[in-house]
Every structure is written in C-alpha cells, then in structure tokens.
Amino acid sequence: MKVLAGNSNRPLAEAISTCLGVPLTKASVRRFSDMEVFVEILENVRGEDVFVVQSTSFPANDNLMELLVTIDALRRGSARRITAVIPYYGYARQDRKTGPRTPISAKLVANLITQAGANRVLTMDLHAGQIQGFFDIPTDNLMGAPVFEKDIRQTFEGHMGEVTIVSPDVGGVVRARALAKRLDADLAIIDKRRERAGVSEVMNIIGDAEGRRCILVDDIVDSGGTLCNAAVALMEAGAKSVHAYCTHGVLSGGAVARVAVSPLEQLVTTDSIQATEAVRVSRNTRQLTIAPLIAEAIMRISEERSVSSLFS
C-alpha cells in the first residue's frame, strides 16, 4: 500500500504512517500564484493501493479541492485502488433540505469525490449516518467511541459509578446511548430550543444530573455555544462536574475562549482536525489521537478484512 498526505492535517497523516510502518508517498501539493491547486505524485503508483489522508476542514474549499486534484492525479497515474481517508468530512451538516431552494451539499461533495476517481471512502463519525448512502462507492464510517471510552475510564477511574453520559440535543441520543452502553453508565438528554441559527437555548434536562459527573458527547463542536449552555444547565441542576467529548473540534471564532470561561472542566476532541494555537495553549481543551484507529482500518481495508469488527 501507499499512504499520501494532503496539507489539511499533516501531523495526523505522519502519525498514521508511523503506526503502519509505511513512509508517506513523496508528492508535491502546492499552489500557483493565483492560488490554483497543483499536485504532482513523485513516486510510481501504477497498480498500487493508495490511501489519501485529507480532512476537509477549514479552509474547507481549499482542502476539498486538494483532495479532488490528488485523487485525479492518482487515477491518471494508474493507481489500482484509491481510498479517500477523510477523518473530518466537511459540509456534513448540510445533509438535507432545510428550506425551499436550499442545497444538500453533503451529497454534492460525495458526488465530487466519486467522480474524481475515488474507489472507496474511509471517514469518522459522520454528522448523519445517512451520508454513507450519499456515496455510490463503499464507505466505512469509523466511530470515535472506543477512543473516548478508554480515556473516560482512565480519567474517571474510581468514580465510574457517578458518571452520566449526556446528549446535548435530541439528535445526538443514538451516539450518546452507544457510549453509555459501552461504559455501563446512565444516560441523560438535554432538550433545547434554537431561536435562530447559531444561538441555542437550553430548556430542559431529561434524566438525573444531581451529584453526577456529567459527560457531554457530540460529534462536532463548532462555536461551542451548545456545549457551554448545556454545561451551565447541568451545573444548575446539581451536577458535580461537567466534561465534554466531541470527535471533531472545529472550534471556529471565539469558541476556545468561550469554552475556557464556561463551567466545562475539560473539552476533549480528537485530532481529526489539526489543533490551532488557541487549542494547544488552552487550559481545558485537549486532543486524543485517532491515528492508531485509522491505521488499523487502513490495514484491514488493504488486506480485505472486516472493518466493522473493530467495534464489535
């Protein structure tokens, strides 16, 4: 196999390469003076099984274009199979029509990746499971739950009986329930009403938070407003402490500062998106690596073994 890295998250690609014991394929991914993307593969890839590691995080359009151009270069270089490894799938929140004359951008991006020449996709914690069906090629959706489970057991060692997993909204109940089941922990749900885009208002807590060590679980943390409001509501309901575990730390705008002054003791994300300087210096934000998990999935795909059994 060959592993090729784009520019969106080079440290993660290097960590995956180290886990696999396979050096990154030499390639030049650069910009012309007018910022057009140019990709040149500097090794022979004819007949090879190639994995392209590229998150479509900020700047989403640039990173997506890099991925598409890289796939095209590999296809024209006669690679046998091209797998797009997308730890964070951008545009995933635009997965349905939210009103008249609005796009379903997640489906458009899936079409672009397929038409560019990808043979399969490997991604992680898609915002909505149905996005797998947007692709006409095999798509593996990894779960961050095993990574979170291990860290939670270490962090709350000796206090697991006090842990309650909390979904910050009704839409994330399935995700929170799955983690709660793995940990044999209680489950609570926060019912919130969103007055307008980007503003969330916590309304009610379904379940018991009093005297509990609450762990908020979500797939994406962007502005941080939902998590911070949820943390305030949980503390007002008598929670002993509030932590948050989110797979994708988008953390746009002043999100890190917002989290820093919130009741959250700690926000834990994965390195599916490369940490900004604000995240690296934050006192209550940290990242867990998903490199071993992705490396194992890549190895199983290359050897035609089951990926789903990773989570059984």
The answer to whether 192 is a known catalytic residue is yes
Q: Is residue 299 annotated as involved in ligand binding?
A: no
Q: Is residue 169 annotated as involved in ligand binding?
A: yes
Cis peptide before 59 (omega within 30 of 0): yes
Q: Is residue 223 annotated as involved in ligand binding?
A: yes
d(CA 50, CA 266): 37
With b meaning 16 or more CB within 10 Å and e meaning fewer, what string describes 102-130? Answer: eebebbebbebbbebbbbbbbbbbbbeee
Q: Is residue 243 annotated as involved in ligand binding?
A: no
Q: Is residue 194 annotated as involved in ligand binding?
A: yes
Q: Are 65 and 91 in contact (CB under 8 A)?
A: no
* 38: enclosing H helix or E strand: strand 37-41
Helix (H, G, I), strand (E, B) or coil at 137: coil
Considering the candidates 26, 107, 192, 240, report the single residue annotated as catalytic.
192
Q: Are 271 and 293 in contact (CB under 8 A)?
A: no
Q: Is residue 225 annotated as involved in ligand binding?
A: yes
Q: Is residue 136 annotated as involved in ligand binding?
A: no
d(CA 156, CA 83): 37
Q: Is residue 101 annotated as involved in ligand binding?
A: no
Q: Is residue 262 annotated as involved in ligand binding?
A: no
Catalytic residue annotation: 192
Binding-site positions for ATP: 34-36, 93-94
Binding-site positions for D-ribose 5-phosphate: 194, 218, 222-226
Binding-site positions: 34-36, 93-94, 127, 169, 194, 218, 222-226
Binding-site positions for Mg(2+): 127, 169
